[in-house]
Amino acid sequence: MSKPLFIALDFDDQEKMWLFLNQLQPQSKLHVKLGMEMFYQYGPEIVRDLSAKGYQIFLDLKLHDIPNTVKRTARQLAALGVYCTTVHALGGKEMIKAAKEGLIEGTPEGKEVPKLLAVTELTSISEDVLRDEQHCSLSLADEVKSLAHQAQTAGADGIICSPLEVKAMKNEFSDDFMFVTPGIRPASYKKDDQARVATPSQARENGSTAIVVGRPITQAENPQVAYEEILKDWTK
Ligand SMILES: O=c1ccn([C@@H]2O[C@H](COP(=O)(O)O)[C@@H](O)[C@H]2O)c(=O)[nH]1
């Protein structure tokens, strides 16, 4: 899969989500990210419905629990046939390893095992919050790098971080390790609750494997135009 742009489908009901999707005219298969807001409301059925319509799905549930619980949950998620899914890297290496095992065990024969991505530090976390609330003595860049190495050792296929951290650590990882980056904001767009943001072209230059974009597309006056502009800036 070459350099995907995942649109975050953060809607409060599925009518709004389908209305949004049906008005878009992508030139190729659309990549979408489904998060907790929709999954907790509609469950696996919404994943199956999107899948049946041909969307490539990133199921972003950010699992964070004891290894046994995460493994058993990952087994269930694998059966849904999504492209990738997430855990929190702060859950520890044993938990990440358990998630990977669960995904492998739960994937139906002949199907591809979903990619496992570990969320390092949420893109809404700033350097100040990391220090004052999480009481972490590392810089954000070093903390993200440390969590990325732990995730890789534990068997994750990639991480979630901000595009701002990718450049400094990319050469320490194998070429197929994925750096999936939310916190994407076109230059003229507000940050909202994101603390560490970059434009699509900055993400590309820094080496992101994929970007995740929500509000700058879903809340745009003309989502098709916003999608095309962001895609152009990401892939040019
Ligand atoms: O560190 C993270 C991890 C996940 N996200 C998710 O990405 C989208 C971003 O949406 P925007 O509207 O473009 O801000 C959203 O679904 C988050 O849950 C993240 O932002 N940061």
Name the token pair of 178.
């994925």
CATH number of 5-235: 3.20.20.70
CA nearest ligand 1 atom 1, residue? 122
Give me the half-sphere count of Cα atoms (radius 13 Å) on the Cβ side of residue 181: 30
Burial class (CB in 10 A: 0-12, 13-18, 19+), 49: middle
The tens digit of pLDDT for each residue in 26-67 reads 888 899 999 999 999 999 999 999 999 999 999 999 999 999
**Among residues 49, 65, 93, 167, which one is catalytic?**
65
φ and ψ at 134, to 5 degrees?
A: -90, -10
| Catalytic status, residue 236 | no
Average pLDDT, the chain: 97
Distance in angstroms (rounded) separating the CA atoms of residues 227 and 131 = 35
List, for residues 72-128, the tens digit of each pLDDT value: 999 999 999 999 999 999 999 999 999 999 999 999 999 999 999 999 999 999 999
* Extents of the domains making up the chain: 5-235
- Could you tell me if the ipTM is greater than 0.90? yes
- Whole-structure pTM over 0.95, yes or no? yes
Which residues are documented as binding site for substrate? 10, 33, 60-69, 123, 185, 194, 214-215
